[in-house]
Amino acid sequence: MAETISIEVVGLKDSTCSPFPCDMTRTCGLYDCHPTGKLVPAFEALKKELMKQFGSGIEMRLVLIDEDMPEHIREIIATHYPPIPFVVMNGKLIPMGRISLPMMQKETEKILSFR
């Protein structure tokens, strides 16, 4: 049986989900969080969509660094200085700079294809 892909979305509780405006073009591929433009609703919408597609093959966690910062996240920030929000998949920083369903699907499928 294949291992579960661990996906962590890291950001601040009241931060935006993207540097782009939350408008009707929906380039992020998410609809349930519109028009908030906020990380927490975007994470929930992303989780819902990815769970539909990948089911128990993924495990998702929202890491709000203004509440608590796990050591592995602290190391990623100190080493890479990624823009917030950022995504960590199986412990590896995935440079996206925003919450995006198409980008997450692509990265998840890439990991699955190497198994």
pTM to 2 decimals?
A: 0.92
Torsion of Cα atoms, 3 then 80 then 94 then 43, to 10°: 90
User: By mean pLDDT, which of 1-5, 40-44, 55-59 is the weakest?
Assistant: 1-5
Task: Report the distance separating Cα 2 and Cα 49, nearest Å.
Answer: 20
pLDDT for 62 equals 97
Residue ranges per domain, the chain? 5-113
Beta carbons of 115 and 37 less than 8 angstroms apart? no
User: By mean pLDDT, which of 17-26, 46-55, 91-100 is the weakest?
Assistant: 17-26
Q: What is the pLDDT of residues 46-63, one digit of tens each?
A: 999 999 999 999 999 999
How do strand 86-89 and strand 58-64 relate by DSSP bridges?
unpaired
pLDDT, average across residues 66-77? 94
pLDDT for 27 equals 85
Q: Does pLDDT of 17 surpass 70? A: yes
pLDDT, average across residues 12-26? 86
Assign a CATH topology to domain 5-113. Answer: Glutaredoxin (3.40.30)
pLDDT for 1 equals 41
pLDDT, average across residues 58-73? 95
